[in-house]
Amino acid sequence: MDTKEQNKAIADVLGLGPYQRRNRLGNVSKGGQHIWYKECLGGGAYYWLPIPDYVNDLNAMHRAEKHLRDESSVIYANKLSVISCIWHAPASARAETLLRTLNLWTD
């Protein structure tokens, strides 16, 4: 999987849907269609944010890891410890391990 596919797969797991964002003139965002998600501000208000770069951003991966529940978090930790020391694993290793744990990794 390339970086873009990994980021999209993790975003899908977290429930961050793909949206085509248009500017106030109704045009698609510069560069064509992008993957965006809505961040709710409450009361029906929201703003658009690009999907985080989970593969390269350790903070984004820490937020993604918080969504693991029950036995999947144990399986994830075990698989990650085989690759690297859990505390020092880079974001790319964490992203791949997360996707493999959830059976979403494709070669």
For residue range 72-98, list pLDDT tens digits in order: 888 888 888 887 777 788 999 999 999
Q: Please count the structural domains in the chain.
A: 1
Residue 37 maps to a domain: no
Residue 56 pLDDT greater than 80, yes or no:
yes
pLDDT number for residue 91? 93
- 59 — phi, psi (to 5°)? -65, -40
- 105 — phi, psi (to 5°)? -75, 135
Domain that holds residue 87: 52-107
Question: What average pLDDT does this structure show over 14-38?
Answer: 54
Residue 59 maps to a domain: yes
Tokens representing 47 are 């703003």
pLDDT number for residue 6? 92
How far apart (Å, rounded) are the C-alpha atoms in residues 27 and 21?
8
pLDDT number for residue 31? 47
Residue 100 maps to a domain: yes
Residue 56 maps to a domain: yes
Residue 38 maps to a domain: no
Top mean-pLDDT range of 11-20, 67-76, 97-106: 97-106
Residue 9 maps to a domain: no
Residue 35 maps to a domain: no
Residue 41 maps to a domain: no
Residue 65 pLDDT greater than 60, yes or no:
yes
How far apart (Å, rounded) are the C-alpha atoms in residues 30 and 92?
28
* Residue tagged 């144990």 (tokens): 74
